[in-house]
Amino acid sequence: MKILNISHRHSLILSKFQNHIIKNVFKFRTRNSCPYHFLIHASRSRKNGSTMTVSCKLKTSKNDINRKSMDKSLQTKIVVPELDGAPSLSEAAEEGGSGAPVKQPPLSSKKNGFGLLKGFPRRVLAVLSNLPLAIAEMFVVAALMALGTIIDQGEVPEHYFQKYPEDNPVLGFFTWRWVLTLGFDRMYSSPVFLGTLALLGASLMACTYTTQIPVLKVAKRWSFLHSAEAIRRQEYSDTLPRASVQDLGILLMGAGYEVFLKGPSLYAFRGLAGRFAPIGVHLALLLVMAGGTLSATGSYKGSVTVPQGLNFVIGDVLGPSGFLSTPSESFNTQVHVNRFYMDYYDSGEVAQFHSDLSLFDLNGKEVMRKTISVNDPLRYGGITIYQTDWSLSALQITKDDEGPFNLAMAPLKINGDKKLYGTFLPVGDADSPDVKGISMLARDLQSIVLYDQEGKFAGVRRPNSKLPIDIDGFKIVVVDAIGSTGLDLKTDPGVPIVYAGFGALMLTTCISFLSHSQIWALQDGTTVVIGGKTNRAKGEFPEEINRLLDQVPEIVESTSSTQSNNLSG
């Protein structure tokens, strides 16, 4: 009894739902293809007829019901009522020439849920695969990201108190309380944002499972149409007098179609991959999301500034980013900075930074040596070392041929790439309260500007030039400027997965541009009836087919009779 009840309810919903779809299909046709209004009326009456057959399970004997739908209504009597709605529904959408939407959420959300899942999970699936919900999620993600670029990220709370004060809220309501409560100061790791992304991922999965895969099954089931009426109902249709379906088949093959011929019927398709590719796009996106999650939870990051000639241990620099981070063997590797240097353009601007690095294992054996630069990192045992920054660590000078002394340099101004470093050589009694000395400033490793005790400009010297400069009676030689290299280190187990996702995404997005075109033809005496449809390139399709049909040879009277005899025999 219970089962009966359920099936009854379902068929009710189905019929209502189908009416809905068909109404839409009909509306679409009338709105857009006005020149074929005769055709529309025909299809309308057919639609109403077929709705009747499904919802009331009565076979109204309309003369334009094709064999296929008759087969189907036979099927409905045999198969359990819970399942029968699905194929006929999808067919209705397909044959209605509705452009065969790749996704039609309400359709699918009801469809697969019946047989496979019951109760709560089914409902969740149905809700998640709802297209408006998915679109709303995408809008929210986009809006949150935009907000994240407007609100300064990663500042201290005081910054937000100042920027979004309570007594003068932005737009009348937006204060620092909003920012801090919702975690918008770190938008891209805030629960709100990540939650929406996760929801979007769930929608992606649900949509792929309940909508795209069933559509795939329908699309794969190629079939002949055996009645001229059914062929004429396609989006594009034409009639060729005195032609043969074989000639058409050869021409279609030449145009890249897969052609199937059976007796007088022809079926041809092209660009089937274009129908499958959106599934690939979704799967690739899921792969990227999975990889991104792994990156966020399982990686190590760290940065270090090392003066030339010194070394560090990789494990000391790296810090874990999430609970999945596990250290590896290569964390014990020691990195030695052999040399840090820059290339310059003729105009004096920096062209490139280079760090000559050597890697030593626990036994002190050199395992790798490479000169890295920006855009050319070092990779060893899952660890990547990037050249990202630089600074000046010390100035090597001789005073009156004594030394050389190393003077540590201090950053005076750090503003992006425009840096300024300074150091000071005390002259006379270093313990006196107003100690004076020689100041040296440098913007890069190229030239050092020297000032005397009074603070007056004394001259410019290049390191390595060996050219002495006399300041207040001292002979000073700038022997060398020692730079330190700024390195970023990371391990990221997610990268291979993300890259796989990237590759798949690029490929499937390109394939998605292809249009899945289907053509049916039927030899009807000496005339050939041709119908066809395509899911994307609706503008070019009729032109292309017209061009093809122009090439179909016309058969002269005498041969046409034998031709048709051959066909029937």
Partner 1 sequence: MIFSTLEHILTHISFSIVSIVITIHLITCLVDEIIKLYDSSEKGMIMTFFCITGLLVTRWIYSGHFPLSNLYESLIFLSWSLSLIHIVPYFKKNQNFLSAIIGPSAIFTQGFATSGLLTQIHESEILVPALQSEWLIMHVSMMILGYAALLCGSLLSVALLVIAVRKNRKFFFTSNHLLNLNGSFFFGEIEYMNERSNVLQNTSFFSPKNYYRSQFIQQLDYWSYRVISLGFIFLTIGILSGAVWANEAWGSYWSWDPKETWAFITWIVFAIYLHIRTNIKWKGINSAIVASIGFLIIWICYFGVNLLGIGLHSYGSFTLTSN
Write each residue from 54 to 93 as x if it is in contact with partner 1 (CB under 8 A), else as -, in one continuous string. Answer: ----------------------------------------
How far is Cα 540 from Cα 543, in angstroms, rounded to an integer? 5
Omega within 30 of 0 (cis) for the link into 404 = yes
Q: DSSP class of residue 36?
A: G
Q: What is the closest distance, in whole angstroms, from the C-beta atom of residue 22 to partner 1 in the complex? A: 11
E-strand stretches of 188-344: 236-240, 258-262, 265-270, 300-307, 311-313, 319-320, 334-344
Q: What is the closest distance, in whole angstroms, from the C-beta atom of residue 134 to partner 1 in the complex? A: 7
Query: Quick check: 544 binds partner 1 (CB under 8 A)?
Result: no
Alpha carbon distances (Å) from 498 to 299, 368, 493, 495: 13, 27, 9, 5
Q: Which is nearer to partner 1, 79 or 142 (CB)?
A: 142
- The secondary element (H helix, E strand) that includes residue 451 is strand 448-451
Q: Of 326, 299, 332, 300, whose CA–CA distance to 313 is shortest?
A: 332
Q: Which is nearer to partner 1, 318 or 522 (CB)?
A: 318
* Piece in contact with partner 1 (CB under 8 A), picked from 8-16, 67-75, 167-175, 486-494: 486-494
Query: Quick check: 146 binds partner 1 (CB under 8 A)?
Result: yes
Q: Which of 400, 513, 525, 559 binds partner 1 (CB under 8 A)?
A: 513
C-alpha torsion 362→367→373→374, nearest 10: -70
Tokens for 228?
């001229």
Q: Which is nearer to partner 1, 190 or 227 (CB)?
A: 190
Query: Quick check: 488 binds partner 1 (CB under 8 A)?
Result: yes
Q: Which is nearer to partner 1, 222 or 499 (CB)?
A: 499
Q: Which of 62, 336, 370, 538 binds partner 1 (CB under 8 A)?
A: 538
Q: Of 530, 552, 553, whose CA–CA distance to 542 is shortest?
A: 530
Interacting residues with partner 1 between 194 and 223 (CB under 8 A): none
Q: DSSP class of residue 212?
A: I
Query: Quick check: 325 binds partner 1 (CB under 8 A)?
Result: no
Q: Which is nearer to partner 1, 32 or 568 (CB)?
A: 32
Query: Quick check: 370 binds partner 1 (CB under 8 A)?
Result: no
For 288-332, the three-class secondary structure string (H helix, E strand, C coil) is: HHHHHHHHHHHCEEEEEEEECCCEEEHHHHCEECCCCCCCCHHHH
Q: Which of 141, 199, 324, 449 binds partner 1 (CB under 8 A)?
A: 141
Q: Which is nearer to partner 1, 130 or 563 (CB)?
A: 130
Q: Which of 14, 25, 479, 545 binds partner 1 (CB under 8 A)?
A: 25
Helices (H), 33-130: 37-56, 67-78, 81-95, 105-116, 120-128
Q: Which of 9, 322, 475, 499 binds partner 1 (CB under 8 A)?
A: 499
Tokens for 465?
């030039």
Q: What is the largest CA-CA distance in the chain?
A: 123
Query: Quick check: 352 binds partner 1 (CB under 8 A)?
Result: yes
In contact, 175 and 165? CB cutoff 8 Å: yes
Q: Tell me phi and psi for residue 292, to 5 degrees.
A: -65, -40
Query: Quick check: 188 binds partner 1 (CB under 8 A)?
Result: yes
Amino acid at 62: K
Size of the site for partner 1 (CB under 8 A): 66
Query: Quick check: 163 binds partner 1 (CB under 8 A)?
Result: no
How far is Cα 311 from Cα 308, in angstroms, rounded to an integer? 8
Query: Quick check: 37 binds partner 1 (CB under 8 A)?
Result: yes
* Piece in contact with partner 1 (CB under 8 A), picked from 73-81, 134-142, 392-400, 471-479: 134-142
* Residue ranges binding partner 1 (CB under 8 A): 24-25, 27-28, 30-32, 34-35, 37, 98-99, 101-104, 131, 134-135, 138-139, 141-142, 145-146, 148-149, 153, 187-188, 292, 295, 345, 347, 349-353, 373-377, 384, 386, 388, 417, 488, 490, 492, 495, 498-499, 502, 505-506, 509-510, 512-513, 536-539, 543
